[in-house]
Chain A
Amino acid sequence: MTVLGDVGSRNTDTPVQGVVIRFAGDSGDGMQLTGTNFTQATALYGHDLATFPDFPAEIRAPAGATFGVSAYQIYFGSDDVTTAGDELDVLVVMNPAALVTNLQDLVEGGLIIADSGAFTAKNLTKAGYEANPLEDESLDGYRVIDIDVTKQVLEAVKPFGLSKKNSIRCKNMWTLGLIMWLFDRDRTETINGLNRKFAAKPAMAEANIAAINAGHAYGETAELPAGVEVYKIPKADLPAGVYRNVNGTEALAWGLLAGGQLADLDILFASYPITPATALLHALSNHKEFDVMTFQAEDEIAAVCAAIGASFAGTLGVTSSSGPGISLKGEAISLCSAVELPLVVVNTQRGGPSTGLPTKTEQSDLNQALFGRHADASMPVIAAATPADCFDIAIEAVRLATKYMTPVIVLSDGYLANASEPWNLPDFHQYEPFPVNYHADAEGFTPAKRDPLTLARVWAKPGTAGLEHRIGGIERDSETGDICYEPANHQKMTDIRKAKIDGIAGDIPAQQVILGNPGGKLALVGWGSTFGPIHGAVRRASEQGRDVSHIHVRYMWPLPANLGELLASYERVLIPEMNTGQFVNLVRSQYLIDAKGLNKVSGRPFKISEIEQAIESELERCP
């Protein structure tokens, strides 16, 4: 095997600001676990980071198959990290299938760490290799460390008397140990975690710890190829504070809990399993300390209906799904708009239509959120930009739902749900409580009474004497709330429902320009999880003197009151989104602005470089 020195873009003599690593292996190789442990250690080290777990829909595809490759990517460094990185500096592959499916993303001269023990004739054939790439010249443009990890692991865990199968399962920890050596990570927390995880099986804990330590020791002592040495990357200059590493799902769960506290409401979180939304149900399933109750309903429709029932009962109903499940909930969401009860609906979007790409990301449910229900049933739609932003967006959803007595749709996506970043725990005292005021006065009460300012219907909680009332899906009299089929009343009620939601535009912050000037040549307008790549690209372009700004919309409906005017102040508007052009259509129809779309639907997030190129070609078109 030929190993080359410093031929690539990475020269260890120059200080490295950031590194992108991808761990790839069989679904059963524990790559997600390796990645999350490395991420924790990296966060503790003090690097800024972003991660991108990318795994197949199958739980355990046949070993060695290309379609069963599970990967976990992390970009960490001293920079302000905005994405998990375009190209890989280090690729860790546990078998030939992982190599063949990921090599194209490795930079020229990048480092490959391969478990040569898994490069068997059978696995090579499954991956479509005619010859072993570790033994021919095909990897000459890269630096390669090939180690028979299986052999090393079996040796390391021999004293603990595990079965061969369980011994081999420690491979991921051995690899983790080596990578931790390479990047100077502290193993303490991972070791503590293993002791906790295997508290009932001390032999497993000891074996896994021995594997990590052996991998680490291998790095220290073995003769590694030239140019492979411990990377020293300066710590990131993050603001002081208490940090936790969160993915969007966890932050969203915390946000819902926090929203419940601020509104002084108990929550019923009713949901049904669907990838990638289910993790939110997992995250909330064990939080009785916040009086949150979860209900795994028999189907999507039951879940949303139970949530609406909980809201009718005077608590807060929350439901969650991905696009196909949201379709099933559609009828009930419109009902909730009709009966005017609070409801939070979280859509963790995935590639579609139908089952589509359930473990991959997309932003193609915006139209569904805005328009995808029967009748005129307008409701607020808000979208989280980053994993940590999911926290604030969830709180905002609770505020809008309870203040305006309306369903609120929260858009997340598969990328946000699984990607993690350091989250500076906010000072919760800075959040203004918005306690719910239930209607209490029986004098002149009707369920159709409204707040004259917000137009929100009153919330009269069962158990309150004198406020007994009936509500339902049949059109309600605007004065009494009783069933009413009168033409003029339906016109009036439809107008009121629309005015109520439109009015929210006056209760949300004006649209800010995140980077760049208000007005100029080119605005890149994003929403949702495209934040990272757009921000990274606009920052690089600005540093090169380009007149380009980044605007990121979180309030998808109603839109911020100043957005139209702001966008009109740019010569060109480019809207990157992971769909065929849904937000760009909204912007065009709302503001009659000639906005252009940059669209990608591959199931993977944008690369910074893709957006940079689009910026260049847009600027070329500027007069």
Chain B
Amino acid sequence: MFGLKADWSLDVHERYFTMDDYAGAEPRWCTGCGDLGILTAVHRVCRDAQVEPENTVAVSGIGCSSRLPHYMKTYGFHGLHGRALPVACGIKSRRPDLDIWVATGDGDCFSIGGGHWIHSLRYNMDLTLLIFDNGIYGLTKKQTSPTTPQGFHTNTHVTGALLPPLNPLTVTLGVSNVSFVAQTVDWNAPLLYEIINAAHQHKGTSFVRIVQRCPMYMEQLNQEMQDDPSRMLLLTHDKGVQVDDAVVRMFENHQEHDPSDMAAARAIAQDDSLIPLGVLYHDPDAQRYDELTNVGLNMPMQERVQGLNAALDKFAI
């Protein structure tokens, strides 16, 4: 009757979370800052996944980006400059049940935290890693960051940044056991949402570089990029993220790219004539250190006692 199936049932959540349930303190970012859009996208992804706020942890380093945990109504840890990833790895190691977000910036992740960036990618613990890349040190007031464009005037390179910027995508794609690499821009909300959502669903460290506006120090540069979608290359594929045709039509350059193809991903990342947007690489089966180290815990008591005695009776030889 009325086409309703006999076994129909409404999937009622015992608790239903709205975006407000993930929204913490009122953000203190500048008007027009790209961080605001990223925060909204994170709240939406959390709501759509219906992850309990008490099982969600936002971890950050230092910088504008790293204020994010304060703007979440979840557990949050705002630690040291460059060290968000090791804190997150420590949490995930002992608490694989928690859903962990890591918010970091181009200075925080690619400069002072460079070592952790490389090694955490290889550990591939289940973390959603968002890099808020505005190409400048914002909170400390306009110093050159690793991704500042060459020639851009900063307070530490007053005649312009001397070197070509670091390419975070090629570095990331060069790390063995990397499992998810995507890039987006903060000002395209549907694409931003889809990419963060795909990153969140991936089991492993999902690296998302978000090319992001800084209205205080990089306004002109960002505006040029924003006004000229021909500088972008939208990656499309069944295995990538799916966005509305309306969003696709905003970009004049498209490329069909299979995210399981590492060689193709590296080629796209290497070509700096266009800014690729979408999922460059995805390997859902990469090994996860957090899974491997949790194997064998919670032994039965008998095995524990055996282990204790064996260890005590060990003779050094």
Contacts and interface: CB of A to CB of B under 8 A. Distances in A.
A293 B83 contact: no
A510 interface: no
Given A306-B87, A466-B54, A194 B317 contact: yes
B55 A306 contact: no
B97 A307 contact: no
B217 interface: no
A305 B80 contact: yes
Contacts of B55: 462-463
A268 B91 CA distance: 9
A293 B317 contact: no
Contacts of A307: 90
B79 A305 contact: yes
Interface stretch (A33-41, A519-527, A533-541, A579-587): A33-41
A470 B77 CA distance: 6
Nearest to A194: B317
Contact of A293 (B57, B58, B94, B311): B94
B297 A470 contact: no
A305 B86 contact: yes
A298 interface: yes
A290 B304 contact: yes
A189 B312 CA distance: 15
Nearest to A289: B307
Nearest to A304: B86
A201 to B, nearest CB: 14
B13 to A, nearest CB: 14
Given A309-B59, A313-B95, A466-B54, A289 B87 contact: no
A266 B94 CA distance: 8
B78 A289 contact: no
A335 B81 CA distance: 11
Interface string B88-128: 11111111011000000000000000011011000000000
A588 interface: no
Contacts, number: 178
Contact of A289 (B62, B98, B299): B299
Nearest to B90: A309
> Which of the four size classes fits the interface of chain B?
35 or more
Interface stretch (A6-14, A230-238, A430-438, A471-479): A471-479
Given A335-B79, A466-B54, A297 B86 contact: yes
A317 B90 contact: yes
Contact of B89 (A196, A309, A483): A309
Nearest to A197: B317
A287 interface: yes
B90 A305 contact: yes
A394 to B, nearest CB: 16
Contacts of A268: 90, 93-94
B52 to A, nearest CB: 7
A517 to B, nearest CB: 39
A295 interface: yes
Interface in A307-322: 307-315, 317
A299 interface: yes
Contacts of A467: 54
Contacts of B95: 313-315, 462-463
Nearest to B75: A462
Given A314-B95, A471-B77, A193 B315 contact: yes
Contacts of B98: 313, 462-463
Given A306-B89, A308-B87, 18 more contacts: A40-B315, A190-B317, A193-B315, A193-B317, A290-B307, A295-B93, A301-B83, A302-B89, A309-B77, A310-B94, A313-B91, A313-B98, A314-B95, A463-B54, A463-B97, A465-B54, A473-B62, A482-B25
Q: 10 shortest A-B CB distances, which residue pairs? A: A309-B90, A472-B78, A289-B307, A306-B90, A193-B317, A470-B76, A305-B86, A298-B119, A302-B86, A309-B87
Interface of A: 33, 36-37, 39-40, 189-190, 192-194, 196-197, 244-245, 266, 268, 270, 287-291, 293, 295, 297-299, 301-303, 305-315, 317, 331-332, 335, 339, 425, 462-474, 482-483
23 contacts: A33-B317, A268-B94, A288-B296, A289-B308, A293-B297, A295-B90, A297-B86, A298-B119, A299-B115, A299-B116, A302-B83, A303-B86, A305-B83, A308-B87, A309-B92, A312-B87, A314-B95, A332-B79, A335-B80, A464-B54, A468-B75, A468-B76, A473-B62
